[in-house]
Amino acid sequence: MSRKEAGQDPVAAGARPLRRDAELNRRRILQAGREVFAARGLQATLNDVAHHAGLGVGTVYRKFPDKQALAEAVFTEELNQIAAAAYKALAEDDAFGALADFLEKALERAAHNRGLRELMRHHTFEDTALAQARREITTQCEGLVGRARAQGTLREGVTEADIAPIAAMIDAVMGLPGERPSESWRRYLAIILDGLRAHPEHTPLPAPGDAL
Amino acid sequence: MSRKEAGQDPVAAGARPLRRDAELNRRRILQAGREVFAARGLQATLNDVAHHAGLGVGTVYRKFPDKQALAEAVFTEELNQIAAAAYKALAEDDAFGALADFLEKALERAAHNRGLRELMRHHTFEDTALAQARREITTQCEGLVGRARAQGTLREGVTEADIAPIAAMIDAVMGLPGERPSESWRRYLAIILDGLRAHPEHTPLPAPGDAL
DNA sequence: ATGAAACGGATATGATGTATCCGCATCGTG
DNA sequence: CACGATGCGGATACATCATATCCGTTTCAT
């Protein structure tokens, strides 16, 4: 609860409103954080972010106590947008198609955001607003997967628990050596999706999802 | 060419044979390197390796100028064994099955060897003996893929260049949070392989392999 | 026995990221 | 306008950590 307040809506509690320039700078920092984390990943320094924002380091550290605080603010937003996309997908008729489209859209975002990818990889983020957003996405995916199964277009034995590993796999392709701006991940997503479709010749899958 | 000699067969050039205890220690270090790199990855310190071998740091640094030298020795061996497996696979009748089995075998090794996984991920190793071994594997894979295509069991448009990304994808699953000793990667390999089989309903793949 | 070879491991070195501190600039209210 | 209060800048102290060396001690081999 100690770090939570940083960079938050100052309406709550006894926090006074920021001076106008300070508020502007806070936005600049957020924007710089988005850009820098997307381009260089989470290992980027708050000093990097500050420089990118055209501000001094001290300014950044006053608004956000540490890198994690800023990252949390930046990526909660990103995750919420993905959750929204999943929610929208639930409305489509063809459930498998909706699932496929959602995956493509979410991964599209990841493709342009190294920081987001790193975040999804490592951080089993504890409490934080991130965890909440992530849970929301999971829930929507459950719906998506459930509907596809019900429509009989999703291969027997595939569950929501498979979604994260699949995303992780595509993410791995994005991180491959020479092809930073490449689109080749779509190729592999297509292959996986074909392996995910219900099909008479598909044999039962091994290892019932002991995945997360 | 400067680091090349380290830990090598001392027969060549004017190098005198090692004292018996020294030779023994060299083996101990190699073995410790295998175990430590496999368990803790490439970021393990030569100090770690030394301790694991029950030796002092200095001893390790005398035999291997730096971590890279030791890693090269350790993993060249590993890669060569994989290359051998690929070579053997070429002899089987069912080319697709052979390819699948080879992938499973190679990934099996990776599953038990975090260092190997990290090595395949990052290092576009330059010259080194590793590069040679890796090239060998690539060559064998070309054969495997070629035969499967010829037999018509491999999906249209799949090439040798797809193998590395596929391995990378499975590797990503192995690195997932809670499931260190898990076997769930086999599940995803099965899915991908099903997406890789020749099938009338498969649509053409996007993005002709601009992968490595 | 004795010189050469090898060992041990404390520690110097260097690289890197984090976060503070405080003199100076800017804001905004009276 | 003027004068606190608030915010800014960024050099730098601090901490962490892997790397690699050095040399007094021990072991080998003749």
Percentage with pLDDT > 90 across chain B? 77
pLDDT, residue A9, reads 47
Mean pLDDT of A197-210: 80
A1 confidence band (pLDDT: 50, 70, 90)? very low
CA distance B157 to B166: 15
A131, two tokens = 């965890």
CA distance B62 to B9: 15
Q: Which of A165, A173, A209 sits opposite B165 (nearest CB)?
A: A173
CA distance A32 to B78: 44
Which is higher by pLDDT, B171 or B14?
A: B171
pLDDT, residue B34, reads 98
In 10 A of CB B54, how many CB atoms? 9
pLDDT, residue A160, reads 96
Give A197's strand partners.
Answer: A154
CA distance A84 to A87: 5
Residues 33-72 of B with CB under 7 A from strand D: 43, 45-47, 57-58, 61, 65-67
Range with lowest mean pLDDT among A194-208, B137-151, B198-212: B198-212
Which residue of chain A is at minimal alpha-carbon distance from B165? A173
pLDDT, residue B128, reads 82
CA distance B82 to B126: 20
Percentage with pLDDT > 70 across chain B? 87
Percentage with pLDDT > 90 across chain A? 77
* pLDDT single digits (tens) B159-191: 999 999 999 999 999 988 765 558 999 999 999
Residues 6+ apart with CB under 8 A from A135: none
Arithmetic mean of pLDDT over chain B: 90
B122: phi then psi, degrees, rounded to nearest 5? -75, -60
pLDDT, residue B101, reads 98
Which is higher by pLDDT, A23 or A179?
A: A23
CA distance B21 to B76: 24
* pLDDT single digits (tens) A111-134: 999 999 999 988 777 778 899 999
Mean pLDDT of A173-180: 78
Arithmetic mean of pLDDT over chain A: 89
Residue A137 has pLDDT above 70, yes or no: yes
Q: Which of B184, B191, B212 sits opposite A178 (nearest CB)?
A: B212
Interchain proximity B205–A196, CB inside 8 Å = no
A211 confidence band (pLDDT: 50, 70, 90)? very low
pLDDT, residue B85, reads 97
pLDDT, residue B18, reads 87
Mean pLDDT of A142-148: 98
Which residue of chain B is at minimal alpha-carbon distance from A123? B177
* pLDDT single digits (tens) B97-150: 999 999 999 999 999 999 999 999 887 777 788 999 999 999 999 999 999 999
Range with lowest mean pLDDT among A86-90, A117-121, A177-181, B116-120: A177-181
In 10 A of CB A171, how many CB atoms? 21
Residue A172 has pLDDT above 60, yes or no: yes
Range with lowest mean pLDDT among A7-16, A28-37, B126-135, B156-165: A7-16
pLDDT, residue B212, reads 42
The pTM score is 0.89
In 10 A of CB A120, how many CB atoms? 19
Q: Which position has the token pair 């996309």?
A: A85
Mean pLDDT of B23-48: 97
Range with lowest mean pLDDT among A4-13, A23-32, B53-62: A4-13
pLDDT, residue B5, reads 44
CA distance A72 to A76: 6
Which residue of chain A is at minimal alpha-carbon distance from B183? A207
Q: Which of B190, B195, B211 sits opposite A176 (nearest CB)?
A: B211
User: For chain A, which residues lie within 8 Å of any Cβ of chain B, measuring from their own Cβ?
Assistant: 121, 124, 155, 162, 164-166, 168-173, 175-179, 182-184, 186-188, 190-196, 199, 201-203, 205-207, 209-212
Q: Find the nucleotide nearest A18 (Cα to C1′).
A: D6
DSSP class of residue A12? S
Residue A206 has pLDDT above 90, yes or no: no
SS3 of residue B184 by DSSP: coil
